[in-house]
Structure 1
Amino acid sequence: MATDEEIAFIHTEEYINAVKLAGEGKLEKSIAMTYGLGTEDTPMFPNMHEASALLVGGTLTAVDAVLSGKVKHALNLGGGLHHGFRGKASGFCIYNDSSIAMKYIQKKYGLRVLYIDTDAHHGDGVQWSFYDDPNVCTISLHETGRYLFPGTGAVNERGQGNGYNYSFNVPLDAFTEDESFLDSYRTVVKEVAAYFKPDIILTQNGADAHYYDPLTHLCATMNIYREIPKLAREIANEYCDGRWIAVGGGGYDHWRVVPRAWALIWLEMNNIQNISGYLPPEWIDAWKGQAETDLPLTWEDPDNMYQPIPRKPEIEEKNALTVAKSLEIIRNNMTKSLY
């Protein structure tokens, strides 16, 4: 479990105390609301400080496991709470484990961190935590905020002060499909990694860009969840001697999408690739009695899962322009350096 001192790397003492009081049933509703607590997204519940600190502790344990040399990669599926702010809860997130972990990496190990967020919702809390910091570079590939919480993550959110051009946002158009999603992801991650040259990578792996997800409007399939960790591992091997920490994130089709997507991260970390065909029957037998829908039988999604998207060419063109705009300063600087 993370200590109060570790949580305070990002969060204010007043906020931490408010979370503790809320977990003890001692925080007035009117005061709770000023901290983003007691809402539909972040309700108050018993021992909420302890539970939230435990999630943070899991990510810090992953950091130490990697940076002590015990392992090259580490995974904490309980983490990825990227909407938490210094003094306020938001979007199901109380303590922002990724932000705390990156500040912990800076303080304890003095390393530069590349943060890659592929949740369908913009990683706002993490971005604002390091918006003026040139030693943490954030990438967020998400559905445009025109239609989706939290409404931020525009291309022109590039950082400020010394942190300018260390924040990269790729707001994808609604109904984006696999090809455009992966083209955008590969292009941005490769070019930003070459520009930033990180010492370690931390990826947030929300599983809510899938077509089945009830809260978002993207049209991805399981194919992206196979490719996302594959490239993360390649980049970690190229720049960071393999050092890669992955956390979970959003994902609201709990039966058909999240288990498969997150299993693929673990498999990639263990160099088990190209797995296909039927899912383990033991998993299906264990959960089919509790599942609220029919469980998938295979690692892959069925063909023709949704009707063709009429605007596909327009969406792909729009996303390509967004990627170009996100990377324009990097590309312009590279062009100048050639002359």
Structure 2
Amino acid sequence: MLADALLVWSEDLVSYDFGLAHPMTPVRLLLTHQLLEDLGVLDGSLRVVPAPVASDADLRRVHTAEYLDVVRRAEADGHAPPGYGLGDDDTPVFGQVHTASARIAGSTLTAAQAVWRGDARRAASIAGGMHHAMPARASGFCVYNDAGVAISWLLEQGARVAYLDLDAHHGDGVERMFWDDERVLTISVHQHPGSLFPGTGYAQDVGSAVARGSAVNVALPPRTADAGWLRAVEAVTEPLVRAHAPDILVSQHGCDCHGTDPLAQLDVSIDAQRAAQLLVADVADRYAAGRWVALGGGGYEVIGVVPRAWAHLVAVVAGRPLEPGTAVPEAWRRRVRDLADVEAPRTMSDGRDARFARFADGFNPDDAVDRAIMATRQAVFPWHGLDPILD
């Protein structure tokens, strides 16, 4: 029987744990899942299935066998040789570094397989979105690239894929893996690489000679806020996904674009992130036959932001969006007080207005965000037969 939506979740996913001092603490996943339960999002049409550990064969879709051996050995003896991105402060070795990373890949692959095979219209993998991992090295807290694994499997099934990355940081690993493949449209809307890791993702980066226009990068100035961010997301996503005509949409919803995130400098509220989620759902319905796989990603304000942002995401995936003013359940707020001795937000909103003006209704050359949008549209739109100004 076709489910409206599916969530891939296992408590084992929290074993992806770099230690107490690391910003990517697994408590963000536990608090998100608990908030989903307390809000009642997991009731009804949303089916929950466990996250398996991805096989070596699936990981080798996008990672080298040599790199897999390095990660496995690191799990066994706690050490990694230089040159593979493991063992530094960003991506340290930990006790289950292979198994936990492979489970995240398995979570996202399971979500993609369920949607492609018709078991669900939409699916979410909130532990996924490890978009910095490269074929032969870890990077930026990411060991295995779950989105890359899932997209590679989808390509093997004959799919055309659109990948949208809304993390504050450039989706460099996914872009790199499909740089030469015109079947995959990768769109990344991120903080300008001159001001943020990983230092890539400029407007002129549009794909290789055999796949011009398949890579799309919108590099936004620091402190870009709701109206400008949403304007940028809509200005590239809707026309390019329409032109690409994908069979399925995969989106990464790193919520480190929030104004309180400690590792980035954008200023995007929970309300604007919810609006973007609804926009992505609509684009998937209109241009990808409703097939949508939604991933988590970055997000390091782990109490006030991540659980609310991803609870909204899963609710949108489930087809039952939460109203912004929905009260945060008191049971969850008590849990936060007991855990961290801080006061959690009282509602699922930051009290911000998520309305924005569409870019197609007028370009302002004096506005830095509009200039960033136009740079991307000029670099990419002609490769898709689109007009940078009119479409």
- Normalised to the residue count of structure 2, the TM-score between the two structures is 0.79
| Alpha-carbon separation, structure 2, partners of 1:59 and 1:216 | 25
Map of 1:141 onto structure 2: 189
Do 1:73 and 1:245's aligned partners in 2 also have CA atoms closer than 8 Å?
yes
Structure 1 pair 334–78 and aligned structure 2 pair: CA distance change class (3 A)? closer
Counterpart among 140, 147, 150 of residue 98 in structure 1 = 147
* 2:330 aligned with 1:317: no
Aligned-residue offset at 1:303 = 6.6
What is the alpha-carbon distance in structure 2 between the residues aligned to residue 55 and residue 315 of structure 1? 42
Name 1:24's counterpart in structure 2: 76
- In the alignment, which residue of structure 1 is the partner of 2:329? 280
Could you tell me whether the CA contact under 8 Å between 1:23 and 1:47 is conserved in 2? yes
SS at match of 1:83: coil
Which residue identity does 1:91 align to in structure 2? G
Contact conserved, 1:173 with 1:315, CA < 8 A, in 2? no
Measured after TM superposition, the shift of residue 59 of structure 1 is 0.6
- Work out whether residues 83 and 90 of structure 1, in 8 Å CA contact, stay in contact via their aligned partners in 2: yes
Contact 2:78 2:94 in 1 (8 A): no
SS, match of residue 138 in structure 1: strand
Instruction: For residue 57 of structure 1, report the CA deviation from its aligned partner.
Output: 0.5
Is 1:42 the counterpart of 2:94? The answer is: no
Q: Which amino acid aligns with 1:327?
A: R
Rounded to whole Å, the distance in 2 between the matches of 1:317 and 1:287 is: 40
Q: 2:127 aligns with which of 66, 78, 84?
A: 78
* Percent of aligned positions that are identical: 35
Provide the rounded CA distance (Å) in 1 between the counterparts of 2:329 and 2:202.
41
> Where does residue 302 of structure 2 map in the other structure?
254
Matched residues in 2 for 1:301 and 1:210: separation?
Answer: 10
Q: Is it true that 1:113 corresponds to 2:171 in the alignment?
A: no
The equivalences for 1:275-314 within 5 A come to: 275=323, 276-291=325-340, 293-302=342-351
User: Quick check: 1:56 aligned with 2:108?
Assistant: no
Q: Which residue pairs with 2:203 in the alignment?
A: 155
1:209-248 alignment runs, 5 A limit: 209-248=257-296
Q: Which residue of 2 aligns with 1:310?
A: none
Q: Deviations over 1:34-89 (max 9, x none)?
A: 10010101111112111111110001110111111111000011110000001000
**Aligned CA distance change for structure 1 residues 126 and 292 (closer, same or farther; 3 Å):** farther
The residue type equivalent to 2:192 in the other structure is T
- 1:325 counterpart letter in structure 2: A
Q: Deviations over 1:225-266 (max 9, x none)?
A: 111110111111111221000111000000000000001111
Gaps of 5+ in 1: 305-313
User: Could you say what the CA RMSD is over the residues aligned between the two structures, in angstroms?
Assistant: 2.0
Superposition misfits of 4+ residues, deviation over 6 angstroms = none
Q: Matched residue pairs, number?
A: 324
Whether 2:175 is the aligned partner of 1:123: answer: no
CA distance in 2, matches of 1:221, 1:228: 11
Give the stretch that moved more between structures: 280-289 or 14-23. Answer: 280-289
Is it true that 1:2 corresponds to 2:51 in the alignment? no
Asked if the contact 1:20/1:47 (under 8 Å) is kept, the reply is no
SS in 2 for 1:73: strand
The answer to whether the Cα contact below 8 Å between 2:271 and 2:351 also exists between their aligned partners in 1 is no
Q: Evaluate the alpha carbon distance shift between residue 153 and residue 293 of structure 1 in structure 2; reply closer, same or farther with a 3 A threshold.
A: farther
Q: Deviations over 1:243-295 (max 9, x none)?
A: 00011100000000000000111111122235123212222122221135321
One-letter amino acid matched to 2:242 = A
User: For residues 279-317 of structure 1, what are the alpha-carbon distances to aligned partners after superposition, in whole Å with 9 as ceiling and x for unaligned?
Assistant: 12222122221135321111111579xxxxxxxxx9981
Structure 2 Cα separation of the partners of residues 147 and 124 of structure 1: 15
Choose the corresponding residue for 2:233, options 185, 188, 212.
185
Residues 115, 122 of structure 2: 8 Å contact kept: yes
Please give the secondary structure, in 2, of the residue aligned with 1:150.
coil
Question: Compared with structure 1, are the counterparts of its residues 50 and 316 closer, same or farther at alpha carbon in structure 2 (3 Å cutoff)?
Answer: farther
CA distance in 2, matches of 1:123, 1:163: 17
What is the alpha-carbon distance in structure 2 between the residues aligned to residue 3 and residue 39 of structure 1?
26
**CA drift at 1:4:** 0.3
- Corresponding residue for residue 330 of structure 1: 381
- Provide the C-alpha distance between the structure 1 equivalents of 2:188 and 2:153, rounded to a whole number of angstroms: 21
- What amino acid is aligned across from residue 46 of structure 1 in structure 2? G
Counterpart residue identity of residue 71, structure 2: V
TM-score by length of 1: 0.91
- For 1:298 and 1:224, the matched residues in 2 are separated by 15
Structure 1 CA distance for aligned equivalents of residues 239 and 377 of structure 2: 8
